[in-house]
Structures are given as C-alpha cells and as structure tokens.
Amino acid sequence: MLHALKDVHDHLKAAHDRRRQLQEIDALDDRDIEELGLTRAELREVITVSAEVRERMAAMAARHGLDRTRLEDLRQDYVHLLDVCAHCDAAGKCAEYLADESRGPTAAGFCPNHADYLALRED
C-alpha cells in the first residue's frame, strides 16, 4: 500500500515539475531561446519525454561510448535522439539488451539510434 502511495506521489511530483518547467520555457524571451541553441518546441519536447525514456537513451548511449554530459552537450543531436527513442517500438529489446552488461554496441543494431550513436562517438 505504501509503495502504491509513493508511486502516486512521485507521479504527481513529476507532473508538477514538468508543468513548472514548461511555464519557465514559455516565459523565456526569443533571445534566451536562441542562446540555448534549441527551439521552444524542442525544449518543450525534452521536458515532456518521460524520465524512463531519457534514462534508457542515456544507458544506450553509454553502451556506445557516449557519456550523458557529452550527449547533452550535443543539443540538436540530443533532441533528435530523444525523439527517436521516445517513439521507438523496440523498448522491450532495448531493456533486454541493457540488462545484459556483457553485450557491446555491435549487438544493438535493432536500435534506431545505433548508427547515430556510433557516428557521434567518432566525432
């Protein structure tokens, strides 16, 4: 019972945080948006993608040799990768792959971001 209440609390807190972040994005002026290097729509997309998707993407990128900081520094690429990951139908395969730490990046050919991760690693 307590676990279920904590899950509800966490869900409500995450929703509140997303709403607050979206309000902050809406309050930014065009110059601030331009300095970030992303459009307002891209910022909103990053905020609204679930933490689970962001974590899965970061784990897959790490398996390909890209750490989270490097990935987030590549703003346009990050938004693209995140969008692809959020709409991917291979989440089950991804979870299985990530659960087996012995599998290297060559075994991740099912991932629609696989080639992009490899290309970004080489930059």
Q: How many helices (H) and strands (E) does the chain have?
A: 8, 0
Helices (H), 37-105: 40-48, 51-63, 68-73, 75-86, 91-99
> What are the extents of the domains in the chain?
1-48, 50-123
Q: Looking at residue 2, what is its pLDDT? A: 67
pTM of the full structure: 0.72
Q: Looking at residue 121, what is its pLDDT? A: 85
Cα 24 from Cα 54, distance rounded (Å): 20
**Per-residue pLDDT tens for 64-114?**
999 888 887 888 888 899 999 999 999 999 999 999 999 999 999 999 999
Q: Are 56 and 91 in contact (CB under 8 A)?
A: yes
pLDDT at 10 over 80: no
18 versus 50: the higher-pLDDT residue is 50
